[in-house]
Chains A and B, each alone.
Chain A
Amino acid sequence: MSARIESWGRYPRAMQRALPLGYRDAGLPAAEGTLLPYGNGRSYGDSCLNDGGNVLCTRGLDRFMAFDAASGVLRCEAGVLLSEILALCLPQGWFLPVSPGTKYVTVGGAIANDVHGKNHHVAGSFGSHVRAFELLRSDGERRLCTPEENPEWFAATIGGLGLTGLITWAEIQMKRVLGPWLATETYKFGGLDEFFALSSGSEGYHEYTMAWVDCVSTGESLGRGLFTNAEHAPTPPGTAEPPAGRLAIPFTPPMSLVNGLSLKAFNWLYYHRQRTKLRRALLHYDPVFYPLDGIRQWNRMYGPRGFLQHQCVIPPTEARGGIEELLREIAASGQGSFLAVLKLFGDKPSPGMLSFPRPGATLALDFPNAGEKTFRLLERLDAVVAATGGAVYPAKDARMSGKHFRRFFPAWERFQAYIDPRFSSSFWRRVME
């Protein structure tokens, strides 16, 4: 047992035995206690932890199996990182069909959390682009799952938080692109009305959309921010790939670097950095899709107590009022962080039973773990979300109540039948209490 395995938020801490996997033909390792697949540890809370049990470290399953550069169909083992897929496929003209905010997640993790990206309004979630995968159960059975074959296992495993068994490999439909460059437009918006107008206006026209919100401002400027849209663009002549970032936070500072003062200063500067209403730029995909991947171990900036992330979705009819109420609560609390992200999800249904993405507005932000007052704030946010009929994202959660979880994900009862009897997680035990 060791505490070496962490989640990205570094809260909570858990003790578990790490069992490395090396080859997909091998059975599950013999071990006492429950099992849970653990990819690259980018889940924020406790959905990738299994306190008192074992985690199956899937990064050893990192082989490509097949890639057809004509059709864009990629088959690889579940521990391959999305960054590794980009390195293989982008030079051949293919991009990830859906990309979360970090490229350092495994394919297995992307499926188990049915991740989404800035193109949700046109492309749906990651699971919508999965053609097939193999599920290895603890009784040794290997199930091929596709939308046609074992469809119920397919639906249970996508967004299934690693509980239905081990995904050994998966097949993904990649997306044809012009190259690594994106044509972007960034609009400064003064409040939520403007955000919703921009979002609904641009949805049909732009492949990627996202907004940064100033989570500190109140009153007149509540909900102000920067709205960006982007699409793939031809590579301009004479451009070279920008060098990979070498920045890192080498150790955990004794206290969080994110506090009331730095928060106010950052949010003010970030909003006012852009002088004009509209800025156009041709940018490499890295800073657009993965702004924080340039700083290795940025999660350490929150200090030894770690941080909590909160991401929710509010249904379309309640979106305007719900988001405003959440932002009011957050601004009034003086907590919150640098990167508050707001986006409208589209109405393409997610394929998983427990998938998080659904139509509506989604708001995500970090909170330094300041103990009780942070937990109380997050509980208030959950209550706002519950009242609107929305949901909170399990991949980012470390503390939502079981009552709320079961309300947000009513399919949990049906899902239980698909859980592997030997699999469990800290998250699941918590929300089933």
Chain B
Amino acid sequence: MQKVLIVGATSAIAEQAARLYAARGASLVLTGRQAERLQAVAADLKLRGAAVVDTAVLDIDDLPAHARVVEQAWKAGAVDVVLVAAGTLPDQAACEASVMLTVKEFNTNGLSVIALLTLVAQRMQAGGAIAVISSVAGDRGRQSNYVYGSAKAALSAFLSGLRQRLAKSGVAVVTIKPGFVDTPMTRAFKKGALWASPQAVGRGIVRAVDRRRDVVYLPWFWWGIMFIINHVPEAIFKRAKL
């Protein structure tokens, strides 16, 4: 039986991925910031077929709490898959006006996840997989969301190094780069043809973990979009309205 630890399980994407693991009869450990919502998600996953659902309230920024949660997750046996989906979408303009907010958002989306992964990496065994939701925004900093983007860039680089290090011990590290996803996090945005559903992205994550992929863009066409964006010369890029 697969044992899956999901950090940030009350996010729309993570919950969809969790339903697929539940339908397989996996054993789940879920973390989230709000106890009531975590319980709502857990009860649902249990009914959808999860063998066991354990929960732990965790704010990813609470670094001293990481060890306790990792301990709890590994208590009844090794974790096979870790999915980290915790994150926020900062208000870029507000960050520009506030040092404190910039640091806080960078911490939440970058450093806090890196801190947790450091503990997780110490525990993972051969055959296991660590999947982390980074973002296409981390591929190149853009004026519209570079605080978020730079935190995700740090995370993507960390994952790249971790993947290389853990490859020899048989642990897969999967970097997930979703594009636009129609979730509560992106409520304020106008939606167009490029927007994907959390269901589709959740499916993509589970498939990528099953196939032990390295880096996946979800949906796949974001690979092409980012290839172009990454190759625009800086002299042109800096005048573009992205």
The residues of A with any CB-CB pair to B shorter than 8 Å are 4, 20, 22-25, 60, 63-67, 88
**A20/B37 contact (C-beta < 8 A), A65-B43, A66-B47 known:** no
Assess whether A67 is in contact with B184, with CB atoms less than 8 Å apart.
no
**A88/B36 contact (C-beta < 8 A), A60-B184, A66-B43 known:** no
User: Interface on chain B toward A: helix, strand, loop, or mixed SS?
Assistant: helix
Residues of B within 8 A of A67 (CB): 47
Q: How far is the CB of B179 from chain A (nearest CB, A)?
A: 18
Q: How far is the CB of B187 from chain A (nearest CB, A)?
A: 6
Assess whether B44 is in contact with A22, with CB atoms less than 8 Å apart.
no
Question: What is the CA–CA distance of A46 and B16 in the complex, to the nearest angstrom?
Answer: 31
Assess whether A65 is in contact with B44, with CB atoms less than 8 Å apart.
yes
B48 is contacted by which of A22, A24, A88 (Cβ under 8 Å)? A88
Residues of B within 8 A of A88 (CB): 47-48
B43 is contacted by which of A20, A22, A60, A63 (Cβ under 8 Å)? A63
Assess whether B184 is in contact with A63, with CB atoms less than 8 Å apart.
no
For residue B40, CB closer than 8 A to chain A, the reply is yes
Assess whether B40 is in contact with A63, with CB atoms less than 8 Å apart.
yes
What are 27 sample pairs from A and B whose C-beta atoms fall under 8 A apart? A4-B191, A20-B182, A20-B187, A22-B12, A23-B10, A23-B36, A23-B37, A23-B40, A24-B40, A25-B37, A25-B40, A60-B12, A60-B184, A63-B40, A63-B41, A63-B43, A63-B44, A64-B43, A64-B44, A64-B47, A64-B48, A65-B40, A65-B47, A66-B43, A66-B47, A88-B47, A88-B48
Residues of B within 8 A of A24 (CB): 40
Residues of A within 8 A of B182 (CB): 20
Q: What 1/0 mask marks residues of chain B from 32 to 50 whose CB sits below 8 Å from any chain A CB?
A: 0000110011011001100
Q: How far is the CB of B161 from chain A (nearest CB, A)?
A: 34
Residues of B within 8 A of A65 (CB): 40, 43-44, 47
Residues of B within 8 A of A64 (CB): 43-44, 47-48
Question: What is the CA–CA distance of A66 and B43 in the complex, to the nearest angstrom?
Answer: 7
Residues of A within 8 A of B10 (CB): 23
Shortest 10 CB-CB contacts between residues of A and residues of B: A63-B44, A64-B47, A22-B184, A64-B44, A25-B36, A23-B37, A63-B40, A67-B47, A65-B43, A20-B187
Question: What is the CA–CA distance of A312 and B187 in the complex, to the nearest angstrom?
Answer: 40
Residues of B within 8 A of A4 (CB): 191
Q: How far is the CB of A178 from chain B (nearest CB, A)?
A: 23
For the complex with contacts A25-B37, A63-B40, A67-B47, 10 further pairs of A-B residues with Cβ separation under 8 Å are A20-B184, A20-B187, A22-B12, A23-B10, A25-B36, A25-B40, A60-B184, A63-B44, A65-B43, A88-B47
Question: What is the CA–CA distance of A63 and B48 in the complex, to the nearest angstrom?
Answer: 9
Across the interface, name the chain A residue whose C-beta is closest to B15.
A63
Across the interface, name the chain B residue whose C-beta is closest to A88.
B47
Across the interface, name the chain B residue whose C-beta is closest to A21.
B184
Residues of A within 8 A of B47 (CB): 64-67, 88
Q: How far is the CB of B133 from chain A (nearest CB, A)?
A: 17
Q: How far is the CB of A185 from chain B (nearest CB, A)?
A: 36
Q: How far is the CB of B158 from chain A (nearest CB, A)?
A: 29
Q: How far is the CB of A261 from chain B (nearest CB, A)?
A: 36
Question: What is the CA–CA distance of A24 and B10 in the complex, to the nearest angstrom?
Answer: 13
Q: How far is the CB of A52 from chain B (nearest CB, A)?
A: 18
Residues of A within 8 A of B43 (CB): 63-66
Q: Which of A4, A22, A25 has the most CB of B within 10 A?
A: A22
Residues of A within 8 A of B44 (CB): 63-65
Q: How far is the CB of B32 from chain A (nearest CB, A)?
A: 11
Residues of A within 8 A of B48 (CB): 64, 88
Q: How far is the CB of B198 from chain A (nearest CB, A)?
A: 9
Question: What is the CA–CA distance of A138 and B30 in the complex, to the nearest angstrom?
Answer: 32
Residues of B within 8 A of A25 (CB): 36-37, 40
Residues of A within 8 A of B184 (CB): 20, 22, 60
Residues of B within 8 A of A22 (CB): 12, 184
Which residues B37-66 have CB closer than 8 A to chain A? 37, 40-41, 43-44, 47-48
Residues of A within 8 A of B12 (CB): 22, 60
Residues of A within 8 A of B191 (CB): 4
Q: Which of A60, A63, A65, A67 has the most CB of B within 10 A?
A: A63
Q: What 1/0 mask marks residues of chain B from 159 to 200 whose CB sits below 8 Å from any chain A CB?
A: 000000000000000000000001010010001000000000
Question: What is the CA–CA distance of A63 and B36 in the complex, to the nearest angstrom?
Answer: 13
Q: How far is the CB of B13 from chain A (nearest CB, A)?
A: 12
Question: What is the CA–CA distance of A22 and B184 in the complex, to the nearest angstrom?
Answer: 7
Residues of A within 8 A of B37 (CB): 23, 25
Question: What is the CA–CA distance of A63 and B41 in the complex, to the nearest angstrom?
Answer: 7
Which residues B1-22 have CB closer than 8 A to chain A? 10, 12
Question: What is the CA–CA distance of A4 and B195 in the complex, to the nearest angstrom?
Answer: 14
Q: How far is the CB of A277 from chain B (nearest CB, A)?
A: 46
Across the interface, name the chain B residue whose C-beta is closest to A62.
B44
Residues of A within 8 A of B41 (CB): 63
Question: What is the CA–CA distance of A24 and B34 in the complex, to the nearest angstrom?
Answer: 13
Question: What is the CA–CA distance of A25 and B187 in the complex, to the nearest angstrom?
Answer: 18
Question: What is the CA–CA distance of A63 and B47 in the complex, to the nearest angstrom?
Answer: 9
Residues of B within 8 A of A23 (CB): 10, 36-37, 40
Question: What is the CA–CA distance of A25 and B37 in the complex, to the nearest angstrom?
Answer: 8
Question: What is the CA–CA distance of A191 and B43 in the complex, to the nearest angstrom?
Answer: 53
Question: What is the CA–CA distance of A67 and B43 in the complex, to the nearest angstrom?
Answer: 10
Residues of B within 8 A of A20 (CB): 182, 184, 187
Question: What is the CA–CA distance of A64 and B36 in the complex, to the nearest angstrom?
Answer: 14
Across the interface, name the chain B residue whose C-beta is closest to A80.
B44
Question: What is the CA–CA distance of A25 and B39 in the complex, to the nearest angstrom?
Answer: 11
Question: What is the CA–CA distance of A347 and B41 in the complex, to the nearest angstrom?
Answer: 41
